[in-house]
Amino acid sequence: GTYDQSDDSSFYKDDISAWTSKVTKSREFRKTASGKAYNYRNKVLMGLAQTRILNDPPSITPKEDVTFSLPSVTLPDTDEGIMMLSILEMQSLLRTRQITSVQLTDISIAMLQKYDAEFNIVEVPTFEIAYEKAAAADALFAKGEYISYVQGIPFAIKDTFDLKGYATAYGSWQFLDNVIDDFESPLATYAMEAGAVPVFKSSVPQLTWGTANFNGTVYSCLHGGYSAGPGNSGGSSIGSGNGVCLGVVPVAICEQTGSSCQ
């Protein structure tokens, strides 16, 4: 990607050299034993509130203990109509073979391409693994095997969570080569083990601060209400929020350091 300094977060714009020094220290820290134990390596160095959920994940309810009643749904006529359905409504369509997970993934990617230029939603595309997981989900559906209610459902992952084989960029051009090969966020792992389909890693401001990443400003999709939008968000989970708000995905992984999930 390209980087335009004029689009940088105002938090760092006035002192790029100091910020670069922080990045260098973060990279050095990541090589240590302590650094390898933390997924939020940069946050440790930046003095931000530490989110421990990736390193000490919550207990997981056994899949067999999770039950829902699936609604009766007829396939909507438009892509927008399909992607605005709830997870359970999509699951009903998948189990009744009105649509496949691969088709849902196609639609999700098309919706992402439709809105990304305006709202800066995607940071790291994960289309290859998405189609792999979607095909695996469809194979189970074809055999009448159901492992969870998110089986075959497209989702996004906030780009502060590691997904093995893909970069965790933290919104920064200096981390675009930060491909994670030896670790994966348990939340991402749990979702994929349940059959969910990771379509992309969603945009965050640089190191979760400010309002811009290496692609420029991360815009809010809301008009009125909690946002004067579209405008810069100031919230680090805005990429995940935009993805759900605009119907790119029905669900996304995010976390709250300050108040971005709200």
- Say how many domains are in the chain: 1
pLDDT value at position 217?
66
Does residue 40 sit within a domain?
A: no
Domain assignment of residue 70, yes or no? no
Q: What is the CATH number of the domain that holds 240?
A: 3.90.1300.10
How do strand 197-202 and strand 122-125 relate by DSSP bridges? antiparallel
Domain that holds residue 247: 75-253
Q: What is the DSSP letter of 258?
A: S
pLDDT of residue 13: 43
Strand partners, 124: 201
pLDDT at 242: 86
Span 166-216, pLDDT tens digits: 999 888 888 888 898 988 888 899 999 999 999 999 988 877 776 666 676
Q: Residue with structure tokens 């093995």?
A: 164
Give the residue carrying structure tokens 């965050």. 204
Residue 259 lies in a domain: no
Residue 11 lies in a domain: no
Does residue 238 lie within any of the structural domains? yes
pLDDT below 70 — which residues of the chain?
1-27, 29-31, 33-60, 210-214, 216-235, 256-262
In degrees to the nearest 10, what's the CA dihedral of 43, 49, 54, 57?
170
**CA 31 – CA 108 distance, rounded (Å):** 36
Structural domain contains residue 171: yes
What contacts 73, CB < 8 A, 6 or more positions away?
85, 89, 92, 93, 96, 98
Phi, psi for 120 (deg, rounded to 5): 55, 65
Residue 128 domain-assigned (yes or no)? yes
Q: What is the pLDDT of residue 23?
A: 58
Half-sphere exposure of 240 (CA within 13 A, CB side): 23
